[in-house]
Chain A
């Protein structure tokens, strides 16, 4: 009979989990900062590789030599590279991403201004992706080989091979132009959100479906699922507690990255549907060779992806003990 008192050994004592999570979080955040620095530096290097003379672009094509020289001096473009780099980092830390060649406004301000629209689209598209992809993927795996599985696989394949702009135009043509169920673009109403969200979401949903199917199939063949069944647990419980819980990891990582990509502005969809988001702005900037705007957008996008990747990893660390214990030695 046990004489020593012990705790009830719950799902991993809360405080222990906290301690490990903090350790893991600090490590991950540290690396993330490093990654962000590398991204920022690479972007800096890229701007220098540009054959476009920023001073000339800013001053305008017909500016005289003196004006250009003045612009150069004003922007400190004559300084040595590493000084410019230092200034660049400093400005970034203050949230200054430079100024657009075309409009002269602050890139940061411009991007921030459009962010809410892109965020709206991003969240809507992500909802579509998850609500479509998750159940279909799991269903396909659980009914492997049967008609349902084959059907889901075929449809998802179609979703994967259809480029977003093709799908966008198709939906626009059929549902907005011909059937007039939805507006032809813009952000006039909630209905205007539907088509772009669906366009963006369907492709991703197709990917999620296939990926989840593959993951679930792998897990269902694992030994611990067999052990759970050998304990006489009902199939529903086995699926829920053992299969899905283990399948969710890779999905969370994908969701994180996708959300990051969406928040960076998905050019093509925004352009097709006239959605005034970050992506559309970047598109225009590209046509005008507005390097600061393009670079600024890229930076913002990379930033979001990195941050959301971090968030996804943290969520995974909560779910999967092997992630947060990486490095710690085992028991006796």
Chain B
């Protein structure tokens, strides 16, 4: 049985009178110890998907339908109490902005120890000692001194390490990292990703890595889901998807990444137009307005269809089994 099964998740935000669908039917599985990458442009709904899993949406957000089953427990309808037992202890999160994600009035050590104290029932002292160990594990120099410092005294990279330490402190089975390195410089980014990979391997932790950076996905993930306008448009093993993508959007993304080994020829290709806002979605494939390969059939929403082997699926009429028919 998969560790996490998300099925047809739909989440919407209510602003005033309007209800804006942000996640429009997302489904994926996650096995134990597996790293799944969730990639897409800003606004495609990847962060909201992650927040929906643990129900940490802001007050205006609501899960409209669908199911999220973690280790056999249905999370969308779980009681607050049951949810709190899952959060932190089994499913931990690391957020993008470490400055605002940490309480400025508490020391770093206290914040790491908080989860340990609560979930393990440790004393404050024991939890802080464990926090120190965790800081050392995530590669923070002088952990003893750092424990007593406050978030604003640390650099971005260190803060993010602290966030990771706090997250893994209770030995969760699933770590959801929402753009953990986006706010950092490239060198720090590389170090942090290595750290994540190491921790994940050592602890056999499943990870959902959310990012807009394909390079990060390539480096870190086993499988990847490409999201666009609230839907998953392509899913599969990382190598498969990146080498032989089944969706024009994925292809477009890949093409727009500059390569060291290619000759510099003219302008960097980019996808024309911009992703639709949640309120402006019509019928049919959401990507169609920007797609160079659209056909008449694209006015109807394509479902995810198998493309290659190994569970590689893409939601495009031009690919998959229907390919033969369209030709």
* Residues 299-332 of chain A, each 1 if its beta carbon lies under 8 Å from chain B, else 0: 0000000000000000000011110010000111
Asked if residues A331 and B56 are in contact (CB atoms below 8 Å), the reply is: no
Asked if residues A229 and B144 are in contact (CB atoms below 8 Å), the reply is: no
* Residues 252-264 of chain B, each 1 if its beta carbon lies under 8 Å from chain A, else 0: 0000000000000
Report how far A13 CA is from B136 CA in the complex, Å.
19
Residues of B at under 8 Å CB distance from A? Answer: 54, 56, 58, 80, 84-89, 92-93, 95, 97, 100-107, 109-110, 114-115, 118-119, 124-125, 128-129, 131-133, 136, 141, 143-150, 152-155, 158, 163, 166, 170
> Does A232 make an interface contact (CB < 8 A)?
yes
Asked if residues B141 and A226 are in contact (CB atoms below 8 Å), the reply is: no
> Does A86 make an interface contact (CB < 8 A)?
no
Asked if residues A229 and B133 are in contact (CB atoms below 8 Å), the reply is: no
Asked if residues B101 and A224 are in contact (CB atoms below 8 Å), the reply is: yes
Asked if residues B84 and A12 are in contact (CB atoms below 8 Å), the reply is: no
List which A218-234 residues lie within 8 A (CB) of chain B.
221-224, 226-234
Asked if residues B88 and A11 are in contact (CB atoms below 8 Å), the reply is: no
Report how far A233 CA is from B114 CA in the complex, Å.
9
Report how far A21 CA is from B58 CA in the complex, Å.
37
Report how far A229 CA is from B125 CA in the complex, Å.
22
Chain B residues whose C-beta falls within 8 Å of the C-beta of A73 in the assembled complex: none
CB distance from B176 to the nearest CB of A (A): 9
Asked if residues B100 and A224 are in contact (CB atoms below 8 Å), the reply is: yes
Interface hit among A1-9, A271-279, A283-291:
A1-9
Interface of A is mostly: loop
Given A10-B128, A231-B114, A233-B84; A224-B102 close (CB under 8 Å): yes
Asked if residues A6 and B104 are in contact (CB atoms below 8 Å), the reply is: no
Report how far A241 CA is from B111 CA in the complex, Å.
11
Report how far A33 CA is from B114 CA in the complex, Å.
42
Q: For B110, give its contact among A11, A230, A322 (CB under 8 Å).
A: A11
Chain A residues whose C-beta falls within 8 Å of the C-beta of B166 in the assembled complex: 231
* Residues 1-44 of chain A, each 1 if its beta carbon lies under 8 Å from chain B, else 0: 01010111111110010000000000000000000000000000
> Does A72 make an interface contact (CB < 8 A)?
no
CB distance from A282 to the nearest CB of B (A): 40
Asked if residues A232 and B86 are in contact (CB atoms below 8 Å), the reply is: yes
* 27 A-B residue pairings within 8 Å (CB atoms): A6-B145, A7-B144, A8-B128, A9-B147, A9-B148, A11-B107, A12-B148, A221-B58, A223-B95, A224-B100, A226-B56, A227-B93, A229-B56, A229-B87, A231-B118, A232-B84, A232-B87, A232-B115, A233-B84, A237-B118, A245-B103, A246-B104, A321-B104, A322-B104, A330-B152, A331-B146, A331-B153
Residues of A at under 8 Å CB distance from B? Answer: 2, 4, 6-13, 16, 221-224, 226-235, 237, 241-242, 245-246, 319-322, 325, 330-332
Closest B-chain residue to A234, C-beta based? B84
Interface of B is mostly: helix
Q: For B89, give its contact among A223, A224, A232 (CB under 8 Å).
A: A232
Report how far A86 CA is from B299 CA in the complex, Å.
88
Report how far A199 CA is from B49 CA in the complex, Å.
52
CB distance from B48 to the nearest CB of A (A): 13
Asked if residues B155 and A227 are in contact (CB atoms below 8 Å), the reply is: no
Q: For A230, give its contact among B92, B100, B133, B145 (CB under 8 Å).
A: B92
Chain A residues whose C-beta falls within 8 Å of the C-beta of B155 in the assembled complex: 330-332
Asked if residues A4 and B103 are in contact (CB atoms below 8 Å), the reply is: no
List of 10 A-B pairs having minimum Cβ-Cβ separation, nearest first: A6-B144, A9-B147, A232-B88, A232-B87, A231-B88, A223-B100, A9-B109, A224-B103, A231-B115, A230-B93
Asked if residues B87 and A228 are in contact (CB atoms below 8 Å), the reply is: no
CB distance from B185 to the nearest CB of A (A): 14
Closest A-chain residue to B129, C-beta based? A8
Report how far A322 CA is from B154 CA in the complex, Å.
12
Chain B residues whose C-beta falls within 8 Å of the C-beta of A228 in the assembled complex: 103, 114
Asked if residues B153 and A8 are in contact (CB atoms below 8 Å), the reply is: no
CB distance from B85 to the nearest CB of A (A): 7
Q: For B152, give its contact among A231, A235, A325 (CB under 8 Å).
A: A325
Q: For B154, give its contact among A6, A230, A331 (CB under 8 Å).
A: A331
Asked if residues A331 and B92 are in contact (CB atoms below 8 Å), the reply is: no
Report how far A167 CA is from B311 CA in the complex, Å.
74
Report how far A4 CA is from B153 CA in the complex, Å.
23
Report how far A245 CA is from B158 CA in the complex, Å.
24
Closest B-chain residue to A7, C-beta based? B144
CB distance from A237 to the nearest CB of B (A): 8
Asked if residues B87 and A320 are in contact (CB atoms below 8 Å), the reply is: no
Closest B-chain residue to A17, C-beta based? B148
Asked if residues A232 and B119 are in contact (CB atoms below 8 Å), the reply is: yes
Report how far A226 CA is from B55 CA in the complex, Å.
10
Asked if residues A9 and B128 are in contact (CB atoms below 8 Å), the reply is: yes
Asked if residues A16 and B115 are in contact (CB atoms below 8 Å), the reply is: no
Closest B-chain residue to A320, C-beta based? B105
Given A232-B87, A325-B150, A332-B141; A9-B132 close (CB under 8 Å): yes
Interface centre among B97, B103, B144, B166 (most CB of A within 10 A): B103
Report how far A62 CA is from B107 CA in the complex, Å.
71
CB distance from A318 to the nearest CB of B (A): 11
Report how far A232 CA is from B104 CA in the complex, Å.
19
CB distance from A142 to the nearest CB of B (A): 12
Chain B residues whose C-beta falls within 8 Å of the C-beta of A330 in the assembled complex: 152-155
Chain A residues whose C-beta falls within 8 Å of the C-beta of B103 in the assembled complex: 224, 227-228, 242, 245-246
Given A6-B132, A223-B95, A232-B84; A12-B107 close (CB under 8 Å): yes
